[in-house]
A and B are shown apart, each in its own frame.
Chain A
C-alpha cells in the first residue's frame, strides 16, 4: 500500500493527497472547476457517454478542455461509459484514437470491450472502470486489473469497512464518490426507465423513473392514500464532508464529485469547499479540527437534502425522499466577477440572477474566505445607476470595498440565514 503520510520536521503531513475530480457539462463549468481547485475534471463527449441531457463536448471542445487543464496542471477524464449496443460499435475505434491524440488523460468505461480496444490500440490515456459496473470487491477489481486498467471507480454501495479492506489489498488506483446524486439501484442494473419510458438508461437516456411516485399494493389492496405518502425510490444526495479525513487516511486515490448536469454555482461551491477541506486536513492532519463551516458551505449549493450514502451506516428511511420536493433551496447565484479595480474599489460583474439594492451578496472564491456585503449601488454598463439587476448576463458595476478577484462568484443571501 502506498505511504500516505510522513513525519517532516517533527510534524506529520499527508504526502499522498487525493485527486479531487469534478464534473463539468460545458467548457465554462470545466474552467471554473479547475480554477476553484479541481485536480481533474470528467466530461462527456458527444458519443459513447451517458447523461444525454448534459451539454456534452465536441472533439474541439475536448481539445480546448485538455489545453486549459494541462496549462493549469489538471487532468481531463472523458466518459465513454455507455453500454454498447450493436449499432454503437461503429466509430468507436476512431473516437478513442482521437481522444488519445488530443491528449485526454483518461477514459471512464463501463463496457469491457472498450477496455480491450483501448489496450489493443496502445493508447497513452488511462482506462478507468466506471461505477456503472457496480464494483464491490477485490476479486472483481483483480479481473479488471488483469485487463490492464489503471483505476476502478467503486460502486457507491461500498461502505467504509469494505473500502478499507479493498484498499489494503489492491494496488490499482481507487476512485470513490464523495458527493452528489445517487442511483437508488445498483448502477447499470436499473431498467425502470427502459420499461416505463422506453428510454435506455445504460446509454444516457435515463428518465429517472426511480424518483417518480408509485402507488403500492399488498395482495391487491392499495396501501397509500391521502394520508399515507406514496411509495418512492428517491435517494437524498450524498455528501461525505464529515468523512474526508477518513478517506484521505485510507489512501483513496481520487475523490469524485457527481454532477455533469449541475450548475456553475454548484460546481464552484462544492469544488472549492472540498478543495479547502482536503488542503486544510493534509497540511496538519494531527491538529485538524472539524468545523461545520464546510458542510454549511456545501448546503448553499445543495438542491436536495443530503445524506452519507452507504459510507458509515446502512441507509434507512431518513436517507430517502418521500413525497417532498426540495427542502433545501439553493441560495441564488447572482453574479460572476469579471474584474476588480483596486483604485475605484469597483467590481465589474456579469449578472446571473435577479438582485437589487439592499440585497446582501456573499462572494466566494478559490482565493479567499467568503465575504458578505450589502449592495448599496448598482451601475449599468454605461455607468448609470440602476435599482435592480434583472437582465441576464448584463455587465454591471458594484461598489465594494473588499478586494475581489476574477471568477469570484456572488450568491444572494437569504436574510434569515445570515
Chain B
C-alpha cells in the first residue's frame, strides 16, 4: 500500500519525499483532464530525476476524438521516451496504441465510473491493463471484494474532491452566451453550481476537452484508513486545495498509516480528524459512497422518488 498524490505544486516536492511519499499524478499539456497541475515533458523528466524513488503517473484521461489520434500517438511516444512510470487512461484507444507499441509504463485504467466488478477487471488485465482505479460510487465492501479477487494493482480515492461528470460541450460558455453574463470559465475561477433542492455545491469548469463537474464536498477516509491497507495505491486528490494544505493533509495520512502500523490508530485517528478540521475548516468532508449504496431497480427507484421533489424541466 502506498499513498499517491494528484500533485498541485512542485514547491514542496522534497517535503513529500521527506514524508516518504514517492508516488505522484500530474497532468501534461495535452490529453489530461482534472489534473491538479500541468507539467511539460521537461518538467516531468526533472521531477522523475529529482529522486530515484519517485514514480510519476501522467493523466492521459481525456476521451480521444478521431482527429486527435496522431497527436495522441506522439504524446504516448514522448511519455515512453521520458520513462514515466505509468499513465491513467480511460479511452481504450490509448490502451490499444500502448499495446501496439509495447510501451513499458504501467497502464492504469481510470474510467472514473466503470470499474465496478472483478470479472471485468480480470479480463482487462489479460488485455494489458496493469492496474485499475476503482469507481468511487461503489461501497468499500465492494471495493474490497474486487481487490481480493483481482491480480492487477488497485487504486482507490481516499481524499479530496470527486469526479462527477465530463461533457464534450462548453456548458459554461453556452450559458454565458444565453445570459450575456461575463465570467471566465477555467478552474481557477471557482465556479460552482447547486441543484434546486439539493444542499450540495459542485465545482464546474471548462478546458480544451470540455466541461468537468466535481464535488465540492470531499471524500475523507482518514478516520477509516485502517480498512484500506490492502489496496495498492491510496489516491489523494490535490484539486481545489491550497498547496501547503495539501502537504499537511498528506502528512496526516502518513501519520495515520504509522499509527495503524504501531497499533495506535483507533486512539489517534480522532485527533487526526480534529487536526484536519482545524486545517481546513471551510471544507465539508464525508465518506461518499464508502458506506452507502445506490439503487437502480424500479421498485427501489420509486421508493427514492417519494423523497424527491420535481426538479426536472419535464
Contacts and interface: CB of A to CB of B under 8 A. Distances in A.
Contacts, number: 250
Nearest to B217: A195
A314 B208 CA distance: 13
Given A142-B96, A228-B179, A316-B174, A196 B295 contact: no
B14 interface: no
A86 B66 contact: no
Contact of B190 (A194, A202, A208, A219): A219
B194 A165 contact: no
Interface residues of B, number: 81
A217 B202 CA distance: 10
A217 B193 contact: yes
B274 interface: no
B175 A317 contact: yes
Interface string A184-216: 111011111011111110111101111111111
Contacts of B69: 137-139
B167 interface: yes
B314 A320 contact: no
B168 interface: yes
Residue of B63, B136, B162, B191 with most chain A CB atoms under a 10 A cut-off: B63
Interface residues of A, number: 89
Contacts of A150: none
Interface string B108-152: 000111101111100110010000000011100010011000000
A210 B211 CA distance: 13
Interface string B210-239: 000101000000000000000000000000
B166 interface: yes
A299 interface: no
Residue of B138, B195, B215, B311 with most chain A CB atoms under a 10 A cut-off: B195
Given A84-B120, A197-B304, A208-B312, A317 B177 contact: yes
B169 A315 contact: yes
Contact of A52 (B96, B164, B297): B297
Interface stretch (A230-238, A264-272, A348-356, A405-413): A230-238
Contacts of B304: 197-199
Given A137-B93, A186-B166, A233-B167, A216 B192 contact: yes
Interface stretch (A19-27, A110-118, A375-383): A110-118
A88 interface: yes
Given A89-B119, A143-B93, 7 more contacts: A52-B301, A84-B116, A136-B93, A195-B162, A212-B312, A235-B169, A320-B171
28 contacts: A52-B296, A53-B298, A85-B116, A85-B117, A113-B117, A137-B66, A137-B68, A137-B69, A138-B69, A139-B93, A140-B93, A143-B127, A186-B168, A190-B166, A194-B294, A195-B162, A196-B200, A198-B293, A205-B297, A212-B195, A214-B193, A214-B194, A217-B201, A219-B190, A224-B179, A229-B179, A324-B313, A325-B313
